[in-house]
Amino acid sequence: MLRRERGREPAPRADRDRAEGGGRPTSDMLVVNDLARAYGGVRAVDGVSFSVPAGSMAGLIGPNGAGKSTVLGMIAGAIRPDRGEILLAGEGIAGWSPVSVARRGVIRTFQTASVFARMTVLENVLLGVPPWHGERLRSAFVGRSAWRREEAAQVKQARELLERLDLGAHADAYAGELSGGQKRLVEIGRAMMAQPRLLLLDEPMAGVSRTLAAPIEALIEELRDGGMTVVLVEHELGLVERLCSPVIVLAQGRVLMQGEMAQLRADPEVRRAYLVG
């Protein structure tokens, strides 16, 4: 009755994990080839190519309008590319819907922290768990004792995560009542519950107070050290320098250069296009 994504249903998480790298064998978790997207006459992204090795944290930087969020949006499935290839562990996902991309293990955060405002912080984090059988409509009537046990385990895990994020006291508060930085922590915590293969962080420091900037950075660092593959879009270059390798510089919809931050700072073309001082 409902149209399926390109004639196939994304595999459940367990099957997806077994099929990891089911396309071409590769040590890169993410490969982007000649990605392009135009809005009317404006080429927001014009032939972007880069790769992100598995277990690394890649930084995506550039001046405003460089196409960073558009690239992230295309990887996440929110924006359909005009051309190009996006390979997740060797499997092509370009043009897939956000739901399908997420079910393949790509989880993103948004420039403005996207929480479910009139739901509790704990419920927000619980929604980070990958889609499971308890969420089906029929499970509301059948097999209740089974999913109640599973939900209890998820709640325990979520509470432990909230304690780590210093949000344990806010578990039953509505997420909309939190500060901007706390909402960001909830969003990242929710992404951690998903245990993604690829995490896309879109300006995680935007709108965050200095008090919470350090814990958020520590959390992102923990993700990196834990072996998660991350693409980080950020304007705060100090953060990018401390956490990311490689770093990809975009300008006017194209890759200007990629490498280590120290090299990029020294490159005159990059400095002219973006970096000051």
The binding site for other proteins (CB under 8 A) comprises 1-2, 76, 78, 97-99, 102-103, 107-108, 110, 114-120, 122-123, 126-128, 130-132, 134-137, 139-141, 144, 147, 151-152, 155-156, 159-160, 163, 166, 168-169, 172, 174, 190, 194
Decide whether 99 or 218 has the Cβ nearer to other proteins: 99
Decide whether 29 or 261 has the Cβ nearer to other proteins: 29
Minimum distance from CB of 132 to other proteins (Å)? 8
Which residues, at least 6 apart from 248, have a Cβ–Cβ distance to it below 8 Å?
Answer: 50, 58, 59, 60, 61, 255, 257, 258
Decide whether 111 or 252 has the Cβ nearer to other proteins: 111
- Tell me, rounded to whole angstroms, the distance of Cα 78 from its chain centroid: 12
Decide whether 37 or 108 has the Cβ nearer to other proteins: 108
Minimum distance from CB of 4 to other proteins (Å)? 11
Cβ–Cβ < 8 Å for 106, 93 = yes
Decide whether 67 or 196 has the Cβ nearer to other proteins: 196
- Phi first, then psi: what are they for 119, rounded to 5°? -130, 155
What phi-psi label fits residue 117: left (phi over 0), alpha (psi between -120 and 50 degrees) or beta?
alpha
User: What's the farthest any 2 CA atoms get from each other in the chain?
Assistant: 65
Instruction: Say how many C-beta atoms besides its own lie within 10 A of residue 80's C-beta.
Output: 12
Instruction: Say how many C-beta atoms besides its own lie within 10 A of residue 109's C-beta.
Output: 21
- Phi first, then psi: what are they for 60, rounded to 5°? -120, 110
Decide whether 135 or 222 has the Cβ nearer to other proteins: 135
Cβ–Cβ < 8 Å for 187, 114 = yes
